[in-house]
Amino acid sequence: MTKLSVNVNKIATLRNSRGGDVPNLLKVAADMESFGAQGITIHPRPDERHIRYQDARDLKKIVTTELNIEGNPIQKFIDLVLEVNPTQVTLVPDAVDAITSNAGWDTIKHADFLTDVIATFKKNGIRTSIFVDPVSKMVEGAAKTGTDRIELYTESFAKEFSKGNKDEISSFVKAAKTANNLGLGINAGHDLSLDNIKFFKDNISNLLEVSIGHALISEALYLGLDNVINMYLNRLK
């Protein structure tokens, strides 16, 4: 079964909008785990507009499944990950002012940099993943860095799927085949939802983990967190 890691950035955004501690991020994360979530994902950005760096430290103390920290490996981020020592770090090439992730790494252009960063994290026992577009050449480049996994950037799939175009999955199938042949673990994330998750999972061999935040929280506004988390788990079986 593919694991479900829930991204709690939107919970932090809601909390920060009033300047207090409601909703309490730690309680929501713990509740999500009790509802069946198999991991908690956070993506702290330099301006801390949703997840704060302190949130990463606090979550490490209470998460009982897997903690995945995503972000662009600037020095401040590297230092945080080494301090917190999460289960997994996912490297994402976000610009400082990015609203959300919008591209995977050019693993060929940035090969030396990624190799050095990956080595640092793996030396400290942290599982590593690189955010990539569904392009076999980029998957091959990722493998050369020494990373444990890749995370397929699924926005293009989700966009085309919503239009009824299921053929977009073909590039992801090819990228996954390349990853499998190279011995890389496969994660996926970005705009995956209850509508498209089963189709994606059924077509991607050896999909280990999906990270879902925006859609899951939006769906939960209508259906409830406990219900939505278990709806995802049923689709990922």
Mean pLDDT for back-to-back runs of 10 residues, the chain (237 residues) = 97 96 98 98 94 98 98 96 98 69 87 98 98 97 98 97 97 98 98 98 98 97 97 97
Enter the tokens of residue 169: 């999955």
Per-residue pLDDT at 99: 47
Among the listed residues 33, 50, 66, 70, the single catalytic one is 70
Among the listed residues 50, 190, 209, 219, the single catalytic one is 190
Among the listed residues 43, 66, 151, 219, the single catalytic one is 43
Do 6 and 229 touch, CB atoms closer than 8 A? yes
Q: Which has the closest alpha carbon to 203: 162, 175, 164, 163?
A: 175
Residue 214 catalytic? no
pLDDT, one tens digit per residue, over 108-138 is 999 999 999 999 999 999 999 999 999 999 9
Q: How many CB atoms lie within 10 A of CB 60?
A: 16
Residue 190 catalytic? yes
Say if residue 89 is exposed, middle or buried (CB neighbours under 10 Å; 0-12, 13-18, 19+): buried
Per-residue pLDDT at 184: 98
Enter the tokens of residue 233: 């788990």
Q: What is the CATH number of the domain that holds 86?
A: 3.20.20.70
Query: Whole domain around residue 62: which residue ranges?
Result: 3-235
Per-residue pLDDT at 100: 54
pLDDT, one tens digit per residue, over 157-175 is 999 999 999 999 999 999 9
Number of structural domains (the chain) is 1
Residue 70 catalytic? yes
